[in-house]
Amino acid sequence: QKEVEQDPGPLSVPEGAIVSLNCTYSNSAFQYFMWYRQYSRKGPELLMYTYSSGNKEDGRFTAQVDKSSKYISLFIRDSQPSDSATYLCAMSVGTGGFKTIFGAGTRLFVKA
Amino acid sequence: AAGVIQSPRHLIKEKRETATLKCYPIPRHDTVYWYQQGPGQDPQFLISFYEKMQSDKGSIPDRFSAQQFSDYHSELNMSSLELGDSALYFCASSLGVTGAYEQYFGPGTRLTVT
């Protein structure tokens, strides 16, 4: 079993829809939870990170972490065709731990 | 703003040859990470360096070695290349010991082993 599980999709939604992307994990030592966006043949781009449990909002993006359930989510409001990409969750233990574990990535298609 | 620079962008090698990938982190970033991403796969952590010392190690084959130099750039050396080494190799950089959650990735080096 992988440390981080993420449904690879693909997920197809109409423009303007609310998108929900999720990951589960097994290592309770993870403290930092990140979401990256990756366009085809490009490097991952950091969208946002959250420390421990709670919510964080940045524009149309909201990240949620529920450590008790070992479950994290990324919500995208008013989705746009330009949001079409692969979204990767990633986690690390934080201080003293540089190793970052990525999920498999979810391919998202937003149709105009 | 300056980003992470990787060179070369594309590299074609034959089996059993050696390859060297270079990474130039964002200015003032002192931590470098290397990842391998196969087709349709997630980035696999290989190794990281903080202040020129190895800070963490992942699934890096013994045939691979890496180091970080005094100017903080890093090189990944890959020997006895195998077909399965064909992948995108990303370098990322961050600032400080707690910066692992804020990594900035380079454009990647696409390695093809024939």
Instruction: List residues bridging with B8 in a β-sheet.
Output: none
Q: What gap in Å lies between CA B47 and CA B69, rounded to an integer?
A: 15
- Is residue B11 scored above 90 in pLDDT? yes
Q: What gap in Å lies between CA B21 and CA B13, rounded to an integer?
A: 12
Q: What's the confidence (pLDDT) of residue A2? A: 83
Q: What gap in Å lies between CA A63 and CA A46, rounded to an integer?
A: 13
- How far from each other are the two terminal CA atoms of chain B, in whole angstroms? 36
Chain A, 25 to 44: residues with Cβ < 8 Å from chain B are 32, 34, 36, 41-44
What's the pLDDT tens digit per position in B56-96? Answer: 888 899 999 999 999 999 999 999 999 999 999 999 999 87
Collect all residues of chain A within an 8 Å Cβ-Cβ radius of residue B98. 94-95
H-state helical runs in B52-100 = none
Nearest to A102 among B42, B55, B98 (CB): B42
Across residues A15-32, what is the average pLDDT? 94
What's the pLDDT tens digit per position in A47-93? Answer: 999 988 889 999 999 999 999 999 999 999 999 999 999 999 999 88
What's the pLDDT tens digit per position in B19-59? Answer: 999 999 999 999 999 999 998 888 999 999 999 999 888 88
When pLDDT is cut at 50, 70 and 90, the band that residue A97 belongs to is low
Collect all residues of chain A within an 8 Å Cβ-Cβ radius of residue B45. 99-102
3-state secondary structure of B76: strand
Q: What gap in Å lies between CA A63 and CA B47, rounded to an integer?
A: 27
Chain A, 47 to 86: residues with Cβ < 8 Å from chain B are 49, 51
Instruction: Count Cβ–Cβ pairs < 8 Å, chain A vs chain B.
Output: 69
Q: What gap in Å lies between CA B79 and CA B98, rounded to an integer?
A: 32
Longest dimension (CA), chain B: 39
Collect all residues of chain A within an 8 Å Cβ-Cβ radius of residue B50. 98
Nearest to A101 among B45, B102, B103 (CB): B45
- Is residue B7 scored above 90 in pLDDT? yes
Minimal C-alpha gap between B33 and chain A (Å):
8
Rounded mean pLDDT of chain B? 93
Instruction: List residues bridging with B75 in a β-sheet.
Output: B22, B67
Across residues A96-100, what is the average pLDDT? 72
Nearest to B56 among A41, A97, A102 (CB): A97
CA trace torsion B76, B77, B79, B82 (10° rounding):
20
Q: What gap in Å lies between CA B1 and CA A45, rounded to an integer?
A: 14
